[in-house]
Structure 1
Amino acid sequence: MAASDYVILDDRFRRLVFGTAHVHRLYQGAHWAEGPAYFPASRTLVFSDIPNDRMLRFDETTGQTGVFRSPARYSNGNTVDREGRLVTCEHGGRRVTRTEHDGRITVLAERYEGQPLNSPNDAVVMSDGAIWFTDPTYGIDSDYEGHKAPSAIGASYVYRIDPHSGELRVVCDDFVKPNGLAFSPDESLLYVVDTGRTHGAEHPAHMRRFRVGPDGRLTGGEVFADCTQGLFDGLRVDEDGRIWTSAGDGVHCYDPDGTLIGKILVPEVVANVCFGGPKRNRLFICGTTSLYSVHVAVNGAKTF
């Protein structure tokens, strides 16, 4: 086992990683790398560099990284919908957008009950086409990751965009700072991170788990895990339901029963992760200034 790259906390983690598969840095030069989204058709990964107001694209076939979009309205979280289109959370635009196949940008959400959103942070698309996203205030707290402004809504919610009507609905309103989110493989569970700790030591640094009803209503919401190093941020789920989440010292892997079973160590604070590659067994990792990857012995949950 590559002891320098992994921490085995439970034997269940041992079979999920390869002793010969080290963490590799693919790119360095970002100020705060975030929001990785993998496109199978082109074998490319798009990710955000928020303070530099640009989006970058890594080409898996050449190993090269270039600028995808600049300026990028201080984009943060990205995902891919079921038609292979890029969905982006924009801090600067205070909106959620979709990039069409011809390059046009469609605005999906920018106001709730007539008031501008805070700064959409991360998004995930369900199999029915509904887009779920979080809306904390990080993009309006200062000019570093967006444009400093007061919150018109006065709270940070989790939202759902109806795939047919486009209606924007609050699905959860009791977070301090909702952040990364991901569904279980069968979409019966939703995991949502609360990074409220950034706004006070008395606030949460944990991940919650909800049950998802057929109408998109949430129940439950118990704490699934508390972060043991820094803060959780972005996360993804593998096809067996394990959670792979960012943390202060790398990527933490949780069994569905809530046990922290292992870590992939990264030399920078990790913001987000994404499964990619033709077999969805390559974990891409956004770590502060850099993009990393490592091949693992699992496959990410199919989302495309």
Structure 2
Amino acid sequence: MSCFEAYDPAFGRFVMGNAPLKQLATGFDWVEGPVWFGDAGCLLFSDIPDNKILRYTPGVGVSTFRAPSHYANGHSRDRQGRLVSCEHGLRRVTRTELDGRITVIADSYQGKPLNSPNDVVVKSDGSIWFTDPHYGIMSNYEGFAAKQELPCNVYRVDLDGSIEAVLTDFNCPNGLAFSPDEATLYVADTRRMFHSDPQHIRSFSMASGRPKGGAVFHTITPGCSDGIRCDTDGNLWSSAGDGVHCIAADGHLMGKILVPETVSNLCFGGRAKHQLFITATTSLYAITLNRVGAQTP
């Protein structure tokens, strides 16, 4: 039985019928934040409630990379290949230096603690962009219940360490990704906890260097968009309630990869960045595509 659904004939060129969806590991609580380390030949990802960052090495399996992880969620790599992480528990964004030291990138804004940084990307100019919804402080499941002191914003941290709230009109910004040419920023809004706000992906023009616009780009159904990544042709791949959805640059749905668990996040990796690694509820999955991921390094 095929795990693909095509809504645009072009999607047939993106997938290969004999490439199976593989469950690489299972038995986790809630997995998130995959990031590929090609130089180390491994994938890092978070099990948030279990307070761990895990390492998957092809041919070897899963091991613990860091515990406790301070309830880490999303991860990325900067232009020097260093790990950049969002930590719910300590309400901060950190960078793991090449010698293992931890550097705090951001933990407050205008004198108030961040909520619970969720996902992060690094732009080619070295600036760090992250979302800060309230999910990690609304209960003790993915962090520590605490008072919310800031709106749920999208932030940019410049190379000099200055932090700016660049997007302030979201309910709960979550996943984010730049298009391959960095002309567009995509941000998923997954609504406030215990509310019925709209859930969708918005797109922003980066022509001026700062995000402008913010029209609704696409609405995922079923479920919602959480983690998102672009391929080198500018298609956006998003988590969804029934798997992974591929969305063209003009916003129309091209096709789906059906996954038997609710998908939280994804990233491209593998030998040629042509494998899609998928975190989904209790399991880690992977599938080989005829696409290449846009993220660097």
TM-score tier by shorter-chain length is: over 0.9
Partners of 1:33 and 1:288 within 8 A in 2 = yes
2:280 is matched with 287
1:206 is matched with 200
Shift in Å at residue 152 of structure 1? 1.4
Asked whether 1:144 is paired with 2:141, we answer yes
1:221 is matched with 214
Partners of 2:134 and 2:172 within 8 A in 1 = yes
Shift in Å at residue 198 of structure 1? 4.2
Asked whether 1:275 is paired with 2:268, we answer yes
Count matched residues.
Answer: 297
Pick from 110, 130, 133 the counterpart of residue 133 of structure 1.
130
2:48 is matched with 50
2:157 is matched with 161
RMSD of Structure 2 on Structure 1 (CA): 0.9
**CA-to-aligned-CA distance 1:37-91 (integer Å, 9 cap, x gap):** 101101110000000000100012x241111111100000001111110000000
Pick from 191, 196, 208 the counterpart of residue 196 of structure 1.
191
**Distance in 2 between the 1:68 and 1:55 partners?**
5
**CA-to-aligned-CA distance 1:77-128 (integer Å, 9 cap, x gap):** 0011111100000000100000011110000000000000000000000011
2:254 is matched with 261
**Distance in 2 between the 1:53 and 1:44 partners?**
20
Partners of 2:135 and 2:193 within 8 A in 1 = no
**Distance in 2 between the 1:292 and 1:11 partners?**
25
Shift in Å at residue 166 of structure 1? 0.6
Q: Which amino acid letter does the alignment assign opposite residue 185 of structure 1?
A: P
TM-score (norm 2): 0.98
2:173 is matched with 178
SS of the residue corresponding to residue 228 of structure 1 reads coil
Residue 128 to residue 58, structure 1, CA distance change in 2 (3 Å): same
**Distance in 2 between the 1:229 and 1:257 partners?**
20
Partners of 1:197 and 1:205 within 8 A in 2 = no
**Distance in 1 between the 2:115 and 2:60 partners?**
35
Q: Which amino acid letter does the alignment assign opposite residue 23 of structure 1?
A: L
SS of the residue corresponding to residue 97 of structure 1 reads strand
Asked whether 1:234 is paired with 2:227, we answer yes
Shift in Å at residue 228 of structure 1? 1.1
Q: Which amino acid letter does the alignment assign opposite residue 113 of structure 2?
A: P
Partners of 2:230 and 2:295 within 8 A in 1 = no
Partners of 2:97 and 2:103 within 8 A in 1 = yes
2:108 is matched with 111
SS of the residue corresponding to residue 186 of structure 2 reads strand
2:296 is matched with 303
SS of the residue corresponding to residue 199 of structure 1 reads coil
**Distance in 2 between the 1:302 and 1:184 partners?**
9
SS of the residue corresponding to residue 146 of structure 1 reads coil
Q: Identity over aligned residues, as a percent?
A: 53
Q: Which runs of structure 2 are paired with 1:240-251 in the superposition (5 Å)?
A: 240-251=233-244
Q: Which amino acid letter does the alignment assign opposite residue 205 of structure 1?
A: Q
**Distance in 1 between the 2:254 and 2:192 partners?**
24
